[in-house]
Amino acid sequence: MVGQGSCSVRGLIARAGVKIAVVFGLGAIAACNGTRPTGPSERPNVLLITVETLRADHVGSYGYRRNTTPNLDRLAAQGARFENTLAQAPFTLPSIASLMTGRTPPGHGVRNHPAILAPELETLAERFRAAGYQTAAMTRHTWLRRKSGLDQGFDEYHNNKFSAGLDARSLSLAAVDWLDARDPERPFFLWLHFLDPHLPYTPSYPYSALFREEHADEPRVQHLRSMVEREHDTFEPTPYADIPGGPYYDLVFPHYPDNEALLDLAFWRRSRGSIFFGGKRYSADTVSELRELYDGAITYTDDNLARIMKSLADLGVETSTVVAVTGDHGEAFGEHGLYFTHDFALYDEVLRVPLVLRYPDSIPPGTEVSQQVRLMDLAPTLLELADVELGPLEQSDAVSLVPLVKGGTLPFLNAFAESAPRRSMFPEHERVYFDGNRGKWRMLRTERWKLIRIPHPDGDLYELYDLVSDPGETQNLFHELPGEAGKLVPLLESWMQQDPARDLDNSAEEDAELEGLDPAAVQQLRTLGYIQ
């Protein structure tokens, strides 16, 4: 156990600028004497922001053709940007549980919606609270309710489902109020989870028309575009960040009156399952228009990110706060036969998320990390940056990424992930063949290859992709490259064999839990597409 007034050998070597190789896992940390801060007031604050359904390739600094995220891009320029970050599940609750515990879903036991994180598993928030931090969380998602167990370690845990959660303005204003009212003598750990880029993609005007060329000449659209494109070094939200959001299709129909997918979603002309799983193949133009709305929701969220960053500067804690911004998973827009959903596959469009870290005292501006990392690695990374001991997280599956932002190295980090199980309310999904954990897809992603295993009654199906020559994962090479497949299958099978619940079926209990949700939660889940 590393004491609060001590430091890890790895941390000392990384700070000395020496490149090292760190073993997989966190057990090789020794106590040593050092000069790191010893009291809570001397430690940095930590602000963790997760954005629902944010795929990396729709972020400006990740090469996207649209300027969707000027403030996140500015934050990345001031710190570190991780090019290849993989979520451990393509849906919210298990993905966030991995982030908070440093474990893959088999390790933390949160395998579906709904589920409960076991109280004996220590979380990131619990580590910060044990170190004297004031801790608070603000979410808008039913699956992140207190009953999920993710409230462990938080002094305050707010889960307000106002406007079905699709209102970045209310969340950012609540965060600013909390920052203003906090105890300035103690460091804080604040987690914010924005929901706005999630289905139904209904940002308010002018965000709803921001990327619609037919409306480019409208004065408010022109004004917002000019403010998004402006060059400046500080964080300033536009006046439009104050516009409330909400899951209201009448916010977007004036600009997309004939979009078939929007009409299907808004008026329930087809079941959600038939929409999600390609019962009807939407045209490229139809899908492109929904991408425009998705991008508008991302920009609305990014505009409200600026409000929070400005608050840190106004309070004089900008340089003493570690800021981390990431997504919980991505979103599919017709790739691999999935439309406007994410839970049920393991391709990069639903697993690859942005990850940006800023801490002026420790992370050089403009740092670019190309090595593959995992979302679960963020937990030990934030603790090391804040000089907080890892405690039980030393025994987790994750590693601190601090060496990578300080010019050091790490061995390559294989990424494992699993999909959602079959859900009875979506019988249209034909590529999950068993109930419970047994039917889940599993994945291994290495530096070059991705292997996906799909359980099937006639024998497991496998997909193998060369991510260098085929980043869109369109050509299954499993049978063409038996040698490469033969190396990867045992690695994936070894990970699965460590899971004692790999064949467990809790579907009946999970369905019963859904029936017990309160009306506000049911309404939100219906709006977000989780319930038919």
Count of CB atoms within 10 A of residue 414's CB?
17
- Chain centre distance of CA 520: 24
d(CA 473, CA 445): 12
Q: What is the CATH number of domain 416-528?
A: 3.30.1120.10
Cα 36–Cα 37–Cα 41 angle in degrees, nearest 5 = 165
Count of CB atoms within 10 A of residue 159's CB?
21
Question: Which residues of the chain are in CATH 3.30.1120.10 domains?
Answer: 416-528
Mean pLDDT per block of 10 residues along the chain (532 residues) reads 33 33 33 42 93 98 98 98 98 97 96 92 97 95 88 93 73 96 97 95 96 95 95 92 89 94 92 89 96 98 98 98 98 96 96 98 96 98 97 93 96 97 86 94 97 97 98 98 98 96 87 77 79 71
In the block, which residue shows the tokens 């002309």? 269
Which helix (H) or strand (E) element contains residue 54? Answer: none
| Burial environment of residue 459 by CB neighbours within 10 A (0 to 12, 13 to 18, 19 or more) | exposed
Q: Is 188 helix (H, G, I), strand (E, B) or coil?
A: strand
- Chain centre distance of CA 95: 7
State the maximum Cα–Cα separation within the chain, in Å, rounded to a whole number: 67
Task: Show Cβ contacts of residue 222 under 8 Å, excluding neighbours closer than 6 positions.
Answer: 216
Which helix (H) or strand (E) element contains residue 525? Answer: helix 519-528
Question: Which residues of the chain are in CATH 3.40.720.10 domains?
Answer: 44-383
Quick one: pLDDT at residue 164? Answer: 56
Quick one: pLDDT at residue 38? Answer: 44
Give all strands of the β-sheet with 188-194 in edge-to-edge order.
156-159, 134-139, 188-194, 45-51, 321-327, 352-358, 80-86, 367-374
Eight-class DSSP state of 280: S
In the block, which residue shows the tokens 């992140």? 144
Q: Which residues pair with 418 in a beta bridge?
A: 442
Q: CB–CB of 354/62 below 8 Å?
A: yes
d(CA 403, CA 332): 33
Q: CB–CB of 423/449 below 8 Å?
A: no
Q: CB–CB of 88/376 below 8 Å?
A: yes
Q: Which residues pair with 139 in a beta bridge?
A: 159
Q: CB–CB of 340/332 below 8 Å?
A: yes
**Which sign does the torsion angle of CA 69, 277, 143, 135 carry?**
negative
Burial letters 325-364, b for 16+ CB under 10 A, else e: bbbbbbbbbbbbebbbbbbbbbbbbbbbbbbbbbbbebbe
Q: Is 397 helix (H, G, I), strand (E, B) or coil?
A: coil
CA-only gyration radius of the chain, Å: 22
In the block, which residue shows the tokens 């490469």? 484
| Burial environment of residue 250 by CB neighbours within 10 A (0 to 12, 13 to 18, 19 or more) | exposed
Closest listed residue to residue 398, CA positions, set 55, 122, 202? 122
Q: CB–CB of 159/144 below 8 Å?
A: yes
Q: Which residues pair with 157 in a beta bridge?
A: 137
- Chain centre distance of CA 324: 11
- Considering the domain 44-383, what is its CATH architecture? 3-Layer(aba) Sandwich (3.40)
| Burial environment of residue 27 by CB neighbours within 10 A (0 to 12, 13 to 18, 19 or more) | exposed
Q: Which residues pair with 156 in a beta bridge?
A: 136
SS in 3 state form for 483-508? Answer: HHHHHHHHHHHHHHHCCCCCCCCCHH
d(CA 128, CA 46): 9
d(CA 287, CA 309): 33
Which helix (H) or strand (E) element contains residue 139? Answer: strand 134-139
Quick one: pLDDT at residue 162? Answer: 54
